[in-house]
Amino acid sequence: MKYDLILENIGQLLTMDYEKGGPLCGKDMDQLLVLENKALAIADGRIALIGSNEDASGWPADKRIDCGGKLVTPGLIDPHTHLVFAGSREHEMGLKQKGVPYLEILKQGGGILSTVNATRAASEAALFEKAAYHLDRMLSYGMTTVEAKSGYGLNAETELKQLRAVKKLNNEHPVEIVSTFLGAHAIPPEYKHQPEVFLNEMLQLLDVIQKEELAQFVDIFCETGVFTIEQSKAFLSKAKQKGFQLKIHADEIDPLGGAELASELGAISAEHLVGASEEGIKQLAASGVIACLLPGTSFYLNKPDHAKARKMLEEGVAVTLATDFNPGSCPTENLQLIMSFAAVMYKMTVKEIWNAVTVNAAHAIGLGDERGVIAPMKQADLVIWDAVNYEYIPYHFGVNHTQTVIKKGVIVFEKGDHREQSAFSFT
Ligand code: NIG
Ligand code: FE
């Protein structure tokens, strides 16, 4: 058999311990399977063979890459992004510095609502182009699969416009996207005093979302001044009845009991969890809901409290990490930076961090059987790093260590590739 591509002379190969299954929790999160001096063959977009570097010289192939003793890992997976929106919000930086809270900016019609205005005014084509730009950058950071949430439309037309842009991107861009409907991201001004009427309007969209296969997950921002626990419960329960899997922006700023709600409803993941209670953490562990932690957001909102990652890990919660890429609370596409934040702010071990952004991230977006590991027959989503060991990536922070990115067996990014477009070419 002739292989399509061979990676040889791999220094460290982080296969992740696929035989354990997942999501990983407790002590399992602090273990990695690291193979040394290996080679790997790819055929038809999948891993065909893993063997010793010596054996690989006898494997026939169309193309070979000499990894030069460097690190090879699964492609990074980002399970929480707000990828599609128009405009930007750099003017909020000064407000934040003056101490105006994030929720106060929202209350005054800024924040999420200012991005909603820009997104409503943008065409689907413009949203597609801008999201593709951000997705290119994610790819350059070694991310091969991401989740993308809607939620900057807050009306039928614009929510569907965002979701359709995601669907088209998923068909046309090498990075794979799983889609989440977050129509319940904020209360739009036209429904300021009628949040339930607004939520019902968003629920009306579920049929068309299902028919056009526009999203697999439904999410809600359960927060003071946004949606209450009761409203969130009613909304998510209806989405569940329709057959959607659930995510929830839970206890991001105020501890409302979002972790408990996610556990009660059997959500696939609960996100943020900065204010999650001890009881909520215990319930996440018992119910198997994955905790999706977003340290970049705590950093950027400059909050004194961080998600209690160590407590969650001790209690046996499966933890994943994500960028939360969005124009307000965390404008970065760099998941490598988030890995560094998790090391410093959460004191997660480097092994826990790698499991969080591969195996557990795949499980948090419903792709646990197929992504996030390197094993025979799995899809060949790989990163060759400009580093010789896995500890180096979160250690040397704020810069990009990607050398080559492979998606479905095809080289889709190489160091030195650059985008032609300017960030300011978008409305
Ligand atoms: O996850 N919390 C709600 N949504 C985003 C922020 C969105 C925005 O500020 O535009 C988050 O932090
Ligand atoms: Fe978010």
Per-residue model confidence as pLDDT tens digits over 31-88: 999 999 999 999 999 999 999 999 999 999 999 999 999 999 999 999 999 999 999 9
pTM: 0.97
Q: How many residues are present in the chain? A: 427
Atom of ligand 1 nearest to the CA of 327: 10
Backbone angles phi, psi at 137, to 5 degrees: -70, -40
Cα–Cα distance, 25 to 356 (Å, whole number): 10
Beta-carbon contacts of 25 under 8 Å, excluding residues fewer than 6 positions away, are 285, 313, 316, 317, 318, 319
Ligand nearest to the CA of 96: 1
Q: Let me know if 325 is exposed, middle or buried by CB neighbors in 10 A (0-12, 13-18, 19+).
A: buried
Cα(389) to centroid of ligand 2, in Å?
Answer: 31
Average pLDDT over residues 342-354: 98
Does residue 115's CB lie within 6 angstroms of at least one atom of ligand 1?
Answer: yes
Residue range 85-126, pLDDT digits in tens: 999 999 999 999 999 999 999 888 889 999 999 999 999 999
Query: Of 16, 80, 27, 141, nearest to 290 (Cα)?
Result: 80
Cα–Cα distance, 39 to 56 (Å, whole number): 6
Closest C-alpha residue for ligand 1 atom 12:
329
Ligand nearest to the CA of 329: 1
The confidence band for 335, taking pLDDT boundaries of 50, 70 and 90, is very high
